[in-house]
Structure 1
Amino acid sequence: MFVAPPGYQPVYNPRIPYVGPIYGGLRSGMSVYIQGVIPHEITRFNMNLQCGESEGSDIGFHFSPRFDNWDKVVFNSCQEGEWGSEEEIHNMPFSKGDAFEMVIIINQEGYQVTVNGQDLHTFNHRIPVERVNALQIGGDASIQTVNVIGGGNPAGDQIGGNLPVMDGQPIFKPPVPYTIVIPGGMSTKKTIVIRGMVPLGANRFSINFKVGSSGDIAFHLNPRVQERELVRNSFIGGSWETEEREISINPFLEGQYFDMSIRCGNQRFKVFVNGQHMCDFFHRFQNYNQIDTVELEGDVQISYVHF
């Protein structure tokens, strides 16, 4: 059975305060995705990307929204117990009682922060990013999902042969419908990770693995929300083939987030949702290495897509 390596496994509903490792450390090109809710009664919360899991570790990036008469967001770093100079903005992107999605994109310049799809601030590196290997969250926020995305997985050799191949940059909040070119085309062990939400009133949506030159759909994954069904099929040579509908779980409910990973194997696609195996789809299009695009369409909101 495929189990995502720790570096790609989301953390759900962590108890706050939370401290957890970033396997292999941070590198440019990686991102940290956090989804949660701001309580009505909140003073402040913080997120630290730090150089170790112990208290007193150096902090490469300190992020602290503070709710008072002068609402602001503070950014800083801490080395050898000494805080650096604060950077702050007074454009508070969080609202009490509301859900949020936050992404910290690590690039060569620093930490680029977006909240609910809007750029907030870039904090330049003060500590070499390669030293950063842990995430700490404290304060009053309610966190539902934490995921470290991208950068490969240097711990992979310790895990064995079940590694997914992840070689693309994550795409955050793409509009739907959306077509994505698969980096390098489809291959064995290549995995696509999709984080999204089924909006209220949704009817159906689909994820199509396609051969761009012919329009053939090698794998059509079609959650039908109102019917509570998950249809799988293929469209080859101008016609649909036999539908498959049996599933072990149905995670696609109105108003619910989902984390999906779809992995290509020699014989089949394996689909996992929220850490559980949902279904397999055996290859009907034998030259699956000709699959070069993924198409997202229908009633779904996408937080990010990552190959």
Structure 2
Amino acid sequence: MAFVPAPGYQPAYNPSLPYVAPVMGGLWPGMAVYVQGLVLPHANKFWVNLANGPGEGDDLALHLNPRFGGEGQAVLNSRCGGQWGQEQRRDLQPFLPGTPFEIVITVTPHAYRVLVNGSHFDEFLHRLPAEQVTAVTVDGDLELHSVTILGAGVSPPFCSPQDVPQTIPYLQSNLPVMGQPPTLHPPVPFVATIPGGLIPKKTIVVKGFIPPDADRFHVNLRAGAGGDVLLHFNPRLSEGVVVRNSLLGGAWGAEELDLPHNPFQRGRYFDLSIRCGNHRFKVFAEGQPLCHFSHRLPPGPHVDTLEVDGDVILSYVHF
């Protein structure tokens, strides 16, 4: 049961350094780049580049470079034709040696917006066309846990018709496209309508952080507001279990608890993918198979509501 990403969702987990991720079709407004990792305890510097190629000398549309040591600043810059542009500098907070971080770079028509740990960090106006970015590169003094390109390989969602290329290639897949931009750092409780509902092979992605004092949280796939819950996915941190169940006709079914491992731990990020199959939900964590949950009622377009609530901080939700 290997996890195959749906077009528009391009993740990598625990890649080695230096890391280079291709960007299918370039970057466009509405897309985002997510980087999650840990600053090494004795870090000097690390960097995240949005590059016009995979080579060391290629142009850089954005160079995000936290520098520890004597400088104690984060630098944002660009490089064109071998020449660096004017630096933007700001305080390193919230980057701290020995601590985890997440960076989200969202593409707007005029700039890159950089969020760190869910808060605004800086904005960098476009100096090079974002659609010419073909790679995300990461290296330096960090443990790299995940890199995700959200919106890659699908039609740009917020571009005017004259700006949209005729074709944007992506790896061949029979999975439905992730059809809208990710919802970044939404508040909890979170409720959203799934366009078209849970059709076969539809993928739901929930990425977030579990606070150190968390008790439990849940993800529900529901048939409309207040309707049946076809899947109730419920990590219970105090009990050390992950409960799967359904709520049909107002009655809870039998709980399912068995797992090969429990990836949901206090003080850690998680990456949860739920794919709707013909006969069961297939659940993945960090791109690895976690469990199945057989359908107790048939899914379909009527199952159109995603709910997330409890002791969790959401990084993004994507479907």
How far apart are residue 14 of structure 1 and its match?
3.2
Gaps of 5+ in 1: none
Q: Corresponding residue for 1:65?
A: 66
Determine the C-alpha separation between the residues in 1 that align with 2:74 and 2:202. Answer: 39
Determine the C-alpha separation between the residues in 2 that align with 1:70 and 1:205. Answer: 40
Q: Does 1:160 align with 2:173?
A: yes
Residue type at the aligned position of 1:224: R
Q: Corresponding residue for 1:18?
A: 19
The equivalences for 1:83-232 within 5 A come to: 83-90=84-91, 92-153=93-154, 154-156=168-170, 158-161=171-174, 163-232=175-244
- Report Cα offsets for 1:204-230 as digits up to 9, x if no partner: 221111122443212111223343333
How far apart are residue 305 of structure 1 and its match?
1.1
C-alpha spacing 1:3/1:131, structure 2 compared with 1 (3 Å): same
Q: Corresponding residue for 2:83?
A: 82
Residue type at the aligned position of 1:240: W
- Secondary structure of 1:77's counterpart equals strand
Q: Corresponding residue for 2:42?
A: 41
Aligned identity (percent) is 47
Counterpart pick for 1:278 among 287, 290, 312: 290
Deviating beyond 6 angstroms after TM superposition, the runs of 4 or more aligned structure 1 residues are none
More displaced, 274-283 or 241-250?
A: 241-250
More displaced, 1-10 or 246-255?
A: 1-10
Residue type at the aligned position of 1:97: G
More displaced, 197-206 or 44-53?
A: 197-206
Q: Is the 8 A contact 2:6 2:203 kept in 1?
A: no
More displaced, 2-11 or 16-25?
A: 2-11
TM-score by length of 2: 0.85
Residue type at the aligned position of 1:112: R
C-alpha spacing 1:232/1:91, structure 2 compared with 1 (3 Å): closer
Q: Is the 8 A contact 1:60 1:129 kept in 2?
A: yes
TM-score by length of 1: 0.88
- Secondary structure of 1:130's counterpart equals helix
Residue type at the aligned position of 1:159: Q
Determine the C-alpha separation between the residues in 2 that align with 1:280 and 1:297. Answer: 22
Q: Is the 8 A contact 2:8 2:177 kept in 1?
A: no
Q: Does 1:297 align with 2:298?
A: no
Gaps of 5+ in 2: 155-167
C-alpha spacing 1:259/1:208, structure 2 compared with 1 (3 Å): same
Counterpart pick for 1:248 among 245, 257, 260: 260
Question: Aligned-pair RMSD on alpha carbons?
Answer: 2.4
Q: Is the 8 A contact 1:46 1:137 kept in 2?
A: yes
How far apart are residue 75 of structure 1 and its match?
1.8
Q: Corresponding residue for 1:266?
A: 278
More displaced, 192-201 or 147-156?
A: 147-156
